[in-house]
A and B are shown apart, each in its own frame.
Chain A
Amino acid sequence: MLQTAQRTAKSKGKKGAPASLGEAAVGKGAPPHDRFLEAFRWMLLARTLEEKLVSLYRGGQITGGVYIGKGQEAVSVACGIFLEKGDIFAPLIRDQAGRSAFGEPLIDVTRTYLGSRLGPMRGRDGNIHRGRPRDNQLAMISHLGAMVSVTVGALMAKRFRGEKGFIGLSCIGEGGMQTGSFHEGMNIAAVEQVPLVVVATNNHYAYSTPNDREFACHDLIDRAIGYGFEGYTVDGTDLANCLDVIGGAVKRARVGRPPQLVVASILRLSGHGEHDDASYVTDEIKREPFARDCLKVTEHTIVDLKLVDTETLAEWRRDAATQVDVAISTAQKEAAPEGDEEDWCAISTRDLVDSLE
């Protein structure tokens, strides 16, 4: 299967991006991708945030589940970082890095997990189901595969309205790839020829079920041709490879190529959620190359290539920790929703509310 080596367009400034990398911070080596360091900082922020969320969960301060993207940050950041204003992003369960890179403020995350009434979901939905559809960040439902066709529809709306140059990116896992909804969504995307990128991360387990009970095809990327997509595989532990391949897919979708499927290979370095000890993950699979921790691999590259000095790395960590602490302490001070004050109305058309009175 074709592997792209295309480089993406020059880095563009983005609202909410980590503080400027700064000339002084950059060491002597040349990064393997021009957005490598920026991407690393989003990964670092996501990991720092999620480690904190896990500790809050273990301390009993988060109700419901905590679902983290440990090990998936390189793939995820590459999904969010190339999207521009007007693009549609449909993240999934393990996409904190991509959500942040796309522009989701940390306070949206902490408010949702901690149940603040001020968050985007206002306590009505939790954890990774959050979204801001008005800002093109779709709010996933738990039923996997369903968001692919929703992304298609959003892109059709833009086309109907005569907009140009936009794309959509929809995330899925190898588990979600086995649903009928995913299949229908992929097929209709190709029928409609919308500028869509679907990034599928094979983390080798659907909850506890390993690949050999999920699908029987030789390689998931082979499905691309069947759907009428162009397909690419990527090593999800290699940030530069993720930026190259996913960035390339985004670029091709933007210039009108057929829909793009990217299949990334990683190991989920956590349970399905934090309630899950992942005891079913075998020692054998943990020794696979795809089981590497993408964040550590990226750090090693930074150090080996002397991209920044150790003091700068330490400063980035402190910065991430500070941002996370502020987002958490802010959300913790905010009021929770109350049942007797809630507006118990599921439709926006007030005069059509079905009243039991």
Chain B
Amino acid sequence: MSITYLEAIREAQAKLLRDDERVFIYGQDVGGTFGGAFKATKGLAKEFPGRVLNTPISEDAMVGTAIGAAMHGMRPIVEMQFADFSSTALNQILNNAGTHYWRTDVPIPITVRLPSGGTKGSGPFHSQSMESIYAHYPGLIVMTPATVEDAYTMLIEAVAIDDPVIYCEHKYLYYHLKAEKLPTEGLPTGKARIAREGRDLTIATYSAMLHEALAVAEQLATEGFETEVIDLRSVKPLDTNTVLASVARTGRLLCVGESFPWGSATAEIIARVTAEGFHLLDAAPQRMNAKDTPIPYHPNLWSVHRPNAKEIARKARALLRE
């Protein structure tokens, strides 16, 4: 048996619906026999009648409704059809859900699923990675699972958490990533995982970029360099300690993320490591993000717009030569 990243998300939701009567799924096209644009809720409406509900194309009201329901005892999961469209729900997510606990002492346990990141041919409005925007605002937890196992356990954990969780699931990983079976438990959120050990260079990354980084590490190993690859798993909270400990071993840091560069999660990691671990660094820390343009449609452009293994390897080699 093998299970994909997408199937893990579906299975996690099935388990949540089965185990917790407070859970319902709210989003465009998630219900009926359709089961979502990516089929992440396939079959769930039939299995759990009245709890997997189609909504109008109203991202603001979808999240607002989830906030009200969460405030009164439910555990809604909102599926954004694409992460990009969550921009029209920013007000509810940032100003309503994100401020509510601080203002009123009443937390808002919603989970907003964002099908994130680029796939070729998807263009400017179906490819975005929004984690850096959400991490910027107070009051939210931002998960960025990179493995089938994390996709499963972190979604279950997201719904259990009393605070709003932005769950960034990567569309590129939906079908490409497979595991033998679903885990029974995972690392807790907020704890980064060392995906590959090494002594020469640390690459700190998350989501789909983890797999680009692992490919780079493989390549660099043939050139005699041992790369440590850290899967951050969540960008908020950010496990700075694990990154610092790794940099203490390697002295070199490259951060890779798929969101736009300005004020990105990668910039935050570098700021923290520089402030707290400057003495650990043998070279100036570096980062790679998508280019500072809208995301292009054509595969030839898209494939070089976001960081890819070839470019990450080039940057890593330059850093290793410092």
Which A residues have a C-beta under 8 Å from some C-beta of B? 88, 120-121, 124-125, 129, 131-134, 138-139, 141-143, 146-158, 160-161, 180-181, 184-185, 187-188, 191-192, 345-349, 351-356
Contact = CB atoms under 8 A, between A and B. Distances in A.
A164 B62 CA distance: 23
28 contacts: A88-B68, A129-B103, A134-B106, A139-B103, A141-B96, A141-B99, A146-B91, A146-B92, A147-B64, A153-B66, A153-B69, A153-B76, A154-B69, A154-B71, A155-B68, A157-B68, A157-B72, A160-B24, A160-B74, A161-B73, A180-B60, A181-B61, A346-B139, A348-B162, A349-B107, A349-B163, A352-B189, A355-B237
Contact of A346 (B58, B102, B189): B102
B60 A149 contact: yes
Interface size class of B (residues with CB under 8 A): 35 or more
Given A125-B103, A184-B61, A354-B237, A156 B69 contact: yes
Given A157-B72, A351-B190, 13 more contacts: A131-B104, A138-B68, A149-B60, A152-B65, A153-B67, A154-B72, A156-B65, A157-B74, A188-B61, A188-B65, A346-B99, A349-B107, A355-B240
B85 interface: no
Interface in B212-238: 236-238
Contacts of A133: 71, 100, 104, 106
Contacts of A153: 64-72, 74, 76
* Chain A interface helix/strand/loop/mixed: helix
A165 to B, nearest CB: 15
Nearest to B57: A184
B138 interface: yes
A352 B237 contact: yes
Given A121-B104, A346-B98, A346-B101, A150 B71 contact: yes
A139 B100 contact: yes
Contact of A146 (B66, B95, B189): B95
Contacts of A129: 103
A149 B92 contact: yes
B102 A148 contact: no
A126 to B, nearest CB: 10
Contacts of A125: 99, 103
A348 B67 contact: no
B101 A156 contact: no
B72 A188 contact: no
A356 B272 CA distance: 7
B58 A139 contact: no
Residue in B62, B91, B107 whose Cβ sees the most chain A Cβ within 10 Å: B91
